[in-house]
Amino acid sequence: MAQVDDMTETGNGVAPEQRRTGSRIRSAVDRWRGDRGVWRRGIVLAGCAVLLALVMILHARIPNDVGNLGSLVETFLPWFGVFVPVVLVLALLRRSATALIAVLLPAVVWLNLFGGLVTDRAGGGGDLMVVSHNVNADNPDPEGTAREIAGSGADVVALEELKPAMVPVYEKALAGTYAYHSVQGTVGLWSRHPLTDSRPVDIRLGWTRAMRATVTTPQGPVAVYVAHLPSVRVKLNAGFTANQRDRSADELGEAIAREENHRVILLGDLNGTMNDRALNAVTSQMRSTQGAAGDGMGFSWPAAFPMARIDQILVKGVEPVASWSLPRTDSDHLPIAARVTL
C-alpha cells in the first residue's frame, strides 16, 4: 500500500522519474519557443541537409566524366545515411528549428531508397542453393576455404580469382561434395547436378574471367554465368578509374541478353553495386537476390569491415527466396549465398 500511496502522491500514478523527464522536455520546448534566433540559426546546417538529400535523389545525374565520380558515389550510396543522425545531433546542439526540419528531407530520401533493405526479407524453401566467392588469388589457406564453402550446403558454387597453380587444390577439396565442375581461366563452377555446355565468355580482357554452363537440375536446365569483372581503383590523379570494368560489364550484359535459356543465374564479383550505373547492361535485365530476399544490406567487401556489396547473385526467370552472407574465410571478400525457386 505504501508503494501505491507514493505513486498517487506524485500525481495520477506517474513515477517521479517520468515527471522529471517531462518537466525537462517542457523546459527545453519553452526555451526554444522564447528564442527568437531558433529559425535564423543553422541555415548552413540546413543547407547541408538539403544538399545531402539532393545527392541521394540525383545520384544518377552526377557525371562520370571526371574520375567516374558518379559511380564512386553510387558504390557507397547507402553510407550517406550515416550523415543524417550527424546533422540531427548538430541541429539539436545548435538549437536550430530550421536545421531540424531540413534534416527530415535526407532521412525520408534514404528510407525510400534503402529502408526496405535493412529488414530480413528471406523466406523458406527454394529448389537450388547457390554460393559465389572471390577466394583471393593470394589466399593463404585455399584448402580450408574450399572446405568451408563445401560445408555451406550449396548445390552450385562459383569461385573467382582462381590462381592456376591453386586450381588442383580446390578441385581436390571440393571433389567429395561436387561431382561436376568446370574451370575456365580464373573462374570456376562446381555443381551437385550435371554440367554441360561449359565455355568461356569473352568480356574483352584478353584472358578468361567469365564463363557460362548449363546446370541440369531436377526442375530443368538453368544457365549459370560466373564472372569476375576488372577491379576499380581510386587514384589521386585520376579519381575512380573503372573504364575497363565498364566495358567488360557491357560485354557480359550482351552475352546474357543472347542467352537462349529463359532461366539464368549470374554469380560473381562484379566490382560494383546494384546502384552503379556502369553495370546497367547487366542489372537492367536481372534481379538481385539480396534486394529481393536478402537479410539486411549484405555487404561483402572488404571482409574485415564490409562497406559495399560488390559480389552479386543476380537472377532472371527464377524466383529468389533468400539471400545472405556466409562467414568469413581467408579471402578479402565474404562468400555470398542465395536460395531460388525454379
At residue 83, the 3 state secondary structure works out as helix
Question: pLDDT tens digits, residue range 29-65?
Answer: 556 665 667 888 899 999 999 999 999 999 999 988 7
Query: Which residues have a Cβ under 8 Å from the Cβ of 284 and sit 6 or more positions away?
Result: 253
User: In angstroms, rounded to a whole number, what is the distance separating the alpha carbons of residues 79 and 91?
Assistant: 20
Give the C-alpha separation, 336 to 320, whole Å. 14
d(CA 339, CA 155): 10
Question: Within the chain, what is the greatest distance between any pair of CA atoms?
Answer: 85
What is the average pLDDT across 140-160? 97
Segment 263-321, tens digit of pLDDT = 999 999 999 999 999 999 999 999 999 999 998 899 999 999 999 999 999 999 999 99
Give Cβ neighbours of residue 67 (< 8 Å, ≥ 6 apart): 238, 239, 240, 241
Distance CA 98, CA 84 (A): 15
> Nearest to residue 340, comparing CAs of 313, 316, 322?
322
More confident: 9 or 319: 319
Indicate the residue type of 305: F
Helix (H) / strand (E) element for 321: namely: strand 319-325
pLDDT digits (tens, 9 = 90+) for 111-139: 999 998 888 888 888 999 999 999 999 99
Q: Identify whether the C-beta of residue 336 lies closer than 8 Å to the C-beta of residue 306.
A: no
Residue range 317-333: mean pLDDT, rounded: 97
Angle at 196 between CA 193 and CA 198, to 5 degrees: 115
Which pTM value belongs to this model? Answer: 0.85
37 vs 70 pLDDT, higher one = 70
Look at residue 39 in the predicted model and tell me its pLDDT.
Answer: 84
Half-sphere exposure of residue 87: CA atoms within 13 angstroms, side-chain side: 28
DSSP assignment of 19-75 equals HHHHHHHHHHHHHHHT-TTTTTTTHHHHHHHHHHHHHHHTGGGS-STTTTHHHHHHH
For 103, how many CA atoms within 13 A lie in the half-sphere containing its CB? 20
Position 141 pLDDT exceeds 50: yes
Q: What span, in angstroms and rounded, lies between the C-alpha atoms of 30 and 122? A: 47
The DSSP code sequence of 116-134 is GGSSB---S--SEEEEEEE
Distances (CA, A) of 184 to 161, 227, 244: 11, 10, 20
So what's the pLDDT on residue 176? 96
pLDDT, position 29: 59
Yes or no: say if 133 and 154 are a contact pair by the CB < 8 Å rule: no
| CA 338/CA 126 separation, integer angstroms | 9
Q: Which domains does the chain possess?
A: 35-117 (no CATH), 128-341 (3.60.10.10)
How buried is residue 196: exposed, middle or buried, by Cβ count under 10 Å (0-12/13-18/19+)? exposed
Tell me, what's the pLDDT at 18? 64
Query: What pLDDT shows up at residue 161?
Result: 98
Write down the pLDDT at residue 236.
Answer: 46
Q: Give residue-wise pLDDT tens across range 155-191.
A: 999 999 999 999 999 999 999 999 999 999 999 999 9
Helix axes 167-174, 142-150, angle to 10 degrees: 30
What are the tens digits of pLDDT across the range 191-215? 999 999 999 999 998 899 999 999 9
Mean pLDDT of the 95-121 span: 92
Residue 212 grid cell: 557460362
Report yes or no: 205 and 179 within 8 Å, Cβ to Cβ. no
Task: DSSP letter for 231, please.
Answer: P
Looking at residue 287, the DSSP 8-state letter turns out to be E
What are the tens digits of pLDDT across the range 210-243?
999 999 999 999 999 999 999 876 554 544 567 8
- Helix or strand or coil: residue 106? helix
Residue at grid coordinates 534566433: 37
